[in-house]
Amino acid sequence: MSAPQANCPSCGAPVTFRWSSAVQTVCPFCHSILVRDDLNLTNVGKVADLPPDPSPIQLLTSGTYNNKKFDVIGRIIYEYEQGSWNEWHIVFSDGTSGWLSDAQLQYAVSFLVPNIALPSENQVFRGTHFNFANIDFEVSTITMATYKGVEGELPFPFYGKSNMLFADLRTPSNDFATLDYSDQAAPMLFIGKTVPYEALQLQNVRQFEGWA
């Protein structure tokens, strides 16, 4: 990966981007949220203390998906009425990026599908079927969430949002999709697969008390 550098406009500390296409990052020194335009950085806020997290995944965890190596370089934390979950931004050795969803020990890897007509929020209900990428998906859960925190590098600006709707879609196999209505301008579709933890072959994970 290329590693462009700049200086934090808040504290002056050096900020290095592990992924050349990153649009947002967090200063590791003063925790300012920095949005990038080329190498010009704008401070758009600060990250509050992140909530306790039971996930073994962390920034710079590495793994494998579809025989391709990836590194974890960013995270968005969402909170909803039953708890919270992580969306880890992962970047592969060929420069492409995706997302590793981590919720209650269930994992899924998905990728943004651009330039596709998507249903509006009021067309999405549990049990509704949609065909995306020639796969018949059924809406399994609908979640209203709030942004809880962010760290590392992201492919788009993201901070301070609330009342965001997400619809998870599943199939009888391991195909998985998410309709994401966090951007009021246009919904987004992510398609991928659910993945057993062991299949990800994760390295540099967090160690917890009691682990062998």
Strand partners, 174: none
pLDDT recorded at residue 40: 87
Torsion sign, CA atoms 65, 71, 75, 81: positive
80-101 pLDDT, tens digit per residue, is 988 899 999 999 999 999 999 9
pLDDT of residue 1: 42
Phi, psi at 123, each rounded to 5°: -105, 0
Tokens of 201: 């072959």
Q: Report the helix count and the strand count for the chain, using DSSP H and E.
A: 0, 15
For 11: left if phi > 0, alpha if psi spans -120 to 50, otherwise beta; the answer is alpha
Question: What tens-digit pLDDT sequence spans the chain (212 residues)?
Answer: 446 788 999 999 999 898 989 999 999 999 999 999 887 899 998 987 887 888 999 999 999 999 999 999 999 999 998 889 999 999 999 999 999 999 888 999 999 999 999 999 999 999 999 999 999 999 999 999 998 999 999 999 888 788 899 999 999 999 999 999 998 778 999 999 999 999 999 999 988 665 44
Compute φ and ψ for 197, nearest 5 degrees: -55, -45
- Dist CA 200 CA 56 (whole Å): 12
Q: What is residue 199's predicted lDDT score, i.e. its pLDDT?
A: 97
Asked if 146 and 163 touch (Cβ cutoff 8 Å), the reply is yes
pLDDT value for 212 = 42
User: 187 φ, ψ to 5°?
Assistant: -70, 160
